[in-house]
C-alpha cells in the first residue's frame, strides 16, 4: 500500500496541535479555540504538506514560508517554518498525538483524546521557549440534542480560565452555543453563537 496519502501545495493552515489544525466553526464544541493553541498558531501560510502513514501511525509534515497570515506569530518573511504532526490510536476510545514546529519560534505540543460512551475528554500541552500552557476539555451528551461542555485552561503568567456552557441542537440545521468565560485575570464574559448547516 502506498504510504503517501496526500500532497498539498499553496496556502493552508500548518498542522500544529489537535484543536487548531482540526478547528471548524460548525464542529467546535465551544465558541473559539483554546488560547493555549491560539497563542502559538499561524493561521495560514504558503508551502507544501505531505501526509503519510506507517501502520496506524498518521504523519503530516510541512515546510512553509515565514509570510504568515493571521494567527499570533509575527511575520518572518525570510524564514522557513517546518512542521511535523504525529497521531496514533491506542485501542478503542484513545488517541494521542504530538506536534512540532521548527522556526524562529519553536514549539512542541502533546495531545490526548479519550472517549467512553457519550463522554469525551481532550487534553493538550503546548510549550515554547518562553511559555508552558495546557488545557482540558470535557464534552458530555445529556440528550440527543443537548451537550454540556467545559474547558479549563492554564495560561502563561499563571492565568487560569474556565469556559462552560451548553450546546443546543434546535433542529437538523440550527445549533445554539452559550458560553460563560471565567478568568482570574480578565473580566468574565457571556458569549452566544448560532450556527446554521445545510
Query: pTM of the full predicted structure?
Result: 0.84
Could you tell me which residues come within 8 angstroms of residue 49 by beta carbon, excluding any fewer than 6 positions away? 6, 7, 8, 12, 14, 15, 60, 61, 62, 83
What is the percent of the chain where pLDDT is above 70?
89
Q: Per-residue pLDDT tens for 77-100? A: 667 888 999 999 998 999 999 999
Read off φ and ψ for residue 37, nearest 5 degrees. -90, -30
Lowest mean pLDDT among 18-22, 116-120, 137-141, 142-146: 18-22
Domain count across the chain: 1
| Residue at grid coordinates 463522554 | 119
- Answer yes or no: is pLDDT of 39 > 60: no
CATH code, domain with 170 = 2.40.160.10
CA atoms within 13 Å, Cβ hemisphere of 174: 4
**What's the grid cell of residue 121?**
475528554
Q: What is the average pLDDT across 129-136? A: 89
Q: Which range of residues forms the domain containing residue 72?
A: 4-196
Residue 121's pLDDT is what? 97
Give, as one character, the DSSP assignment of residue 35: H
5 — pLDDT class (breaks 50, 70, 90):
confident
- pLDDT number for residue 198: 78
pLDDT of residue 194: 93
Cell of 177: 452555543
Amino acid at each position: 500500500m502506498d504510504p503517501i496519502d496526500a500532497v498539498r501545495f499553496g496556502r493552508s493552515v500548518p498542522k500544529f496541535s489537535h484543536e487548531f489544525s482540526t478547528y471548524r466553526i460548525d464542529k467546535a464544541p465551544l465558541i473559539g479555540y483554546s488560547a493555549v493553541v491560539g497563542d502559538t498558531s499561524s493561521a495560514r501560510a504558503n508551502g507544501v504538506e505531505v501526509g503519510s502513514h506507517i501502520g496506524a501511525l498518521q504523519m503530516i509534515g510541512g515546510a512553509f514560508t515565514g509570510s504568515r497570515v493571521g494567527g499570533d506569530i509575527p511575520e518572518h518573511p525570510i524564514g522557513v517554518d517546518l512542521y511535523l504532526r504525529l497521531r496514533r490510536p491506542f485501542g478503542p476510545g484513545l488517541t494521542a498525538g504530538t506536534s512540532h514546529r521548527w522556526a524562529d519560534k519553536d514549539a512542541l505540543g502533546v495531545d490526548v483524546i479519550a472517549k467512553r460512551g457519550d463522554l469525551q475528554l481532550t487534553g493538550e500541552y503546548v510549550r515554547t521557549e518562553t511559555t508552558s500552557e495546557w488545557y482540558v476539555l470535557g464534552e458530555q451528551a445529556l440528550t440527543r440534542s443537548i451537550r454540556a461542555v467545559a474547558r479549563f485552561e492554564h495560561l502563561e503568567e499563571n492565568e487560569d480560565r474556565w469556559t462552560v456552557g451548553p450546546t443546543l441542537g434546535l433542529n437538523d440545521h440550527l445549533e445554539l452555543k452559550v458560553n460563560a468565560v471565567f478568568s482570574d485575570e480578565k473580566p468574565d464574559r457571556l458569549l452566544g453563537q448560532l450556527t446554521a448547516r445545510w
